[in-house]
Chain A
Amino acid sequence: MTREEKYRQVRREAGATGVLLALIILFWCAAGFGLAGVPVFVFGLPLWAVMGTVGVWLFAIVGVYVLVHGWFADMSLEDEEQTRGGDAR
């Protein structure tokens, strides 16, 4: 990858990270406040208290997995043009 391509890819990754944040916020709202009145109990706890905590955690784990496997790319962290050009700093 050239420096330009890398920069474009990193931007894309940062954007995708932001999208995942937005999705987690939505899920968090729906799973907690959204389920707050539901009279269902899991392990003696109201549904919202499970979905809004452990549920959000699992959602985030799956989200990050999809993020790094679907959107993130492996690349060299060295500055290519620098090594090619040979002038340090």
Chain B
Amino acid sequence: MMPQTEGNLFALVPLLLFMALMLAIGVWVRRGRGFGEDFVQQYFIGNRRLGGFVLAMTTVATYSSVSSFVGGPGMAWKVGFGWIYMAVVQVTAIFLVLGIFGKRVAMLSRRFDAVTVVDIIRERFESNGLAMLAALVIVLFFCGTMTAQFVGGARLFAAATGYSYEMGLLLFGLVVVLYTSIGGFRAVALTDTCCALMMMVGIVVLLYYVLAAGGGYQAILSGLHAEHPELFEPLSAGKMPLGLYFTQWLLVGICTIALPQSVVRGISYKDTHSLHRAMLIGTVVVGFMNIGVNFTGILAHGVLDGPEASYGSVDNIIPLTIARAVPPELVGLAIIGPLAASISTISGLLIVASSAIVKDVYLAHMRAQGRTVKAVHLSRLSVVTTAALGVLVFALALTPPSLIWIINMFAFGGLETAFFWMLLLGLYWRGANRLGALLSMAGGTVAYCAAQAAGFKLMGLHQITIGITVSLVLFLLGARLGRPTSAAVLQVFFPGARGEEKG
């Protein structure tokens, strides 16, 4: 595509400034804090210093992806208020993960000096093999998701500004890889906070211009009532089946509590007061974003009132709306929101994937062999691993192989299937044991992916229902057949309970 006018170059200024700010944060964190004594703690978990506001913002920003800002509101444009009604189930995501796992994970990680969710899994189930498998699942699915986030962001950039896909990728892709590699988790958390704020600003800016371009709220709504009455029905004349509501409660609501990139945030905050605040702030922010962005999607009918086919796919609705409704000099500002959603998810996944390789695989292997790793060595290795992973994903996004789309399609539900019962039962049920966890993670994930690949559905429901059911059944089976967890581990994870039995 040809670059449009010279005014368009000017429109990139806010975007360039934003990216420069992100980079500056990455460098500042490194310099200002000085990654001293315990590098792994500093780099991968920010030394457990996050306060409530930053904890809330980083959890929300990592959770809200580019699809929340592009594909989601595109669907709202098509389906109507049923789509917001469905999306609003995500207001439960933040308080659930922090309320159920937040304190448990925080205390256990302090006891074991853990910096990853996998560390805790290793201690709970006394198994290096299980930990390695968990790390592999994380790295594989995260790479698929990160690539998709890069592609989504770059496509939006190209469609809204008229510049090329590759240029968009270069612009924000390299920046996110750089600041994550340099600054580690603390840079991720702070940039996530800026990103979350910009997402909200972006929603407000877009909403404002959509209302203006559509002739005002009343005019858009009366047009919708006349032309598309089905948008005001929960089932949207069949476009929003009941089963979809049910599975979305599982997929983007309840089961998200097990996503490793969310749970790891339970290791990162400083005290319980911060956690409590984050639960409240996170719920406010996630609701504002979901309702705001999808409502804007519906109102975009005031800008784009043709049939769906004339716009290609619903994914094009938001980029086209930005291009048509927002004045050219503000396009750069309007696309910061969705791009911020994209880079904040990438950074959050990148640092966790890197920690899985460095901490869960490499360091665990060295420790098992009884070898120690020098601090200088470790810090270089961590930075290089993060950068290498980032560059790999960046390269994949330039010409995404079809395998990446398959992995991405499996990723969200696959991660939930793999970790949901393992974490929930592992941390709250004494009977959970190694065999159960292993069967549940391996068997459940395979069943989920196979069902996805074959397009097999039970009663027309999303495959997450199959994954999560198989995973539970296998867990209970393994718990029955396998050896129970050793008394020493149970004493650590479930203090007191054993003492009562002994009298």
Q: What residues make up the interface of A, taking CB atoms closer than 8 Å to B?
A: 2-4, 6-8, 10-11, 13-14, 16-18, 20-21, 24-25, 28, 32-33, 36, 43-46, 48-49, 52-54, 56-57, 60-61, 64-65, 67-68, 72-75, 77-79, 82, 89
CA distance A79 to B104 in the complex (A): 11
CB-based contact B280/A4 at 8 Å: no
Closest CB of chain B to A71's CB: distance in Å?
A: 9
Most central of B100, B233, B494 by chain A CB within 10 Å: B100
Residue of A whose beta carbon sits closest to that of B97 = A17
User: Which residues of A have CB within 8 Å of B486?
Assistant: none
Contact (A82, B111) CB under 8 Å given A14-B99, A44-B218: yes
CA distance A48 to B106 in the complex (A): 40
Contact (A10, B276) CB under 8 Å given A48-B234, A53-B88, A79-B111: no
Residue of B whose beta carbon sits closest to that of A4 = B496
Residue of A whose beta carbon sits closest to that of B109 = A77
CB-based contact A24/B428 at 8 Å: no
Partner of B85 from A6, A11, A49 at Cβ < 8 Å: A49
Stretch at the interface among B283-291, B310-318, B387-395: B283-291
CA distance A89 to B272 in the complex (A): 23
CB-based contact A3/B495 at 8 Å: yes
CA distance A21 to B256 in the complex (A): 13
Closest CB of chain B to A61's CB: distance in Å?
A: 6
CB-based contact B89/A28 at 8 Å: yes
A68-B280, A89-B113 are known; give 7 further A-B pairs, CB within 8 A: A6-B495, A10-B103, A20-B99, A33-B234, A46-B232, A68-B276, A74-B271
Q: What residues make up the interface of B, taking CB atoms closer than 8 Å to A?
A: 81, 84-85, 88-89, 91-92, 95-96, 99-100, 103-104, 106-107, 110-113, 217-218, 221-222, 225, 232-234, 249, 254, 271-273, 276, 279-280, 283-284, 287-288, 291, 295, 428, 494-496, 499
CB-based contact A72/B85 at 8 Å: no
User: Which residues of B have CB within 8 Å of A33?
Assistant: 234
Residue of A whose beta carbon sits closest to that of B222 = A44
Partner of B283 from A32, A36, A60 at Cβ < 8 Å: A60
CA distance A20 to B95 in the complex (A): 10
CB-based contact B104/A10 at 8 Å: yes
Partner of A65 from B249, B280, B499 at Cβ < 8 Å: B280
CB-based contact B494/A78 at 8 Å: no
User: Which residues of B have CB within 8 Å of A4?
Assistant: 495-496, 499
CB-based contact A61/B112 at 8 Å: no
Contact (A57, B103) CB under 8 Å given A44-B221, A77-B272: no
Partner of B100 from A17, A43, A46, A64 at Cβ < 8 Å: A17
CB-based contact B234/A68 at 8 Å: no
Contact (A67, B279) CB under 8 Å given A6-B107, A10-B104, A53-B81: yes
Partner of A32 from B113, B234, B249 at Cβ < 8 Å: B234
User: Which residues of A have CB within 8 Å of B233?
Assistant: 36
CA distance A65 to B282 in the complex (A): 12
User: Which residues of B have CB within 8 Å of A64?
Assistant: 95, 279-280, 283
Contact (A68, B279) CB under 8 Å given A32-B85, A45-B81: yes
User: Which residues of B have CB within 8 Å of A20?
Assistant: 95, 99
User: Which residues of A have CB within 8 Å of B81?
Assistant: 45-46, 48-49, 52-53
CA distance A40 to B246 in the complex (A): 26
Contact (A60, B95) CB under 8 Å given A52-B234, A54-B291: yes
Contact (A56, B496) CB under 8 Å given A72-B276, A77-B272: no
User: Which residues of B have CB within 8 Å of A48?
Assistant: 81, 85, 234
CB-based contact A7/B494 at 8 Å: yes
User: Which residues of B have CB within 8 Å of A65?
Assistant: 280
CB-based contact A61/B496 at 8 Å: no
Closest CB of chain A to B345's CB: distance in Å?
A: 22
Closest CB of chain A to B18's CB: distance in Å?
A: 28
CB-based contact A67/B99 at 8 Å: yes
Closest CB of chain B to A33's CB: distance in Å?
A: 6
CA distance A18 to B257 in the complex (A): 12
User: Which residues of B have CB within 8 Å of A53?
Assistant: 81, 84-85, 88, 291, 295
CA distance A38 to B229 in the complex (A): 15
CA distance A24 to B292 in the complex (A): 20
Contact (A72, B272) CB under 8 Å given A3-B495, A13-B103, A79-B107: yes
Residue of B whose beta carbon sits closest to that of A52 = B85
**Which A-B residue pairs are the 7 nearest by beta carbons?**
A4-B496, A17-B99, A57-B287, A49-B81, A68-B276, A3-B495, A44-B221
User: Which residues of A have CB within 8 Å of B107?
Assistant: 6, 10, 77-79
Residue of B whose beta carbon sits closest to that of A28 = B89
Closest CB of chain B to A59's CB: distance in Å?
A: 9
CB-based contact B232/A61 at 8 Å: no
Closest CB of chain B to A44's CB: distance in Å?
A: 4
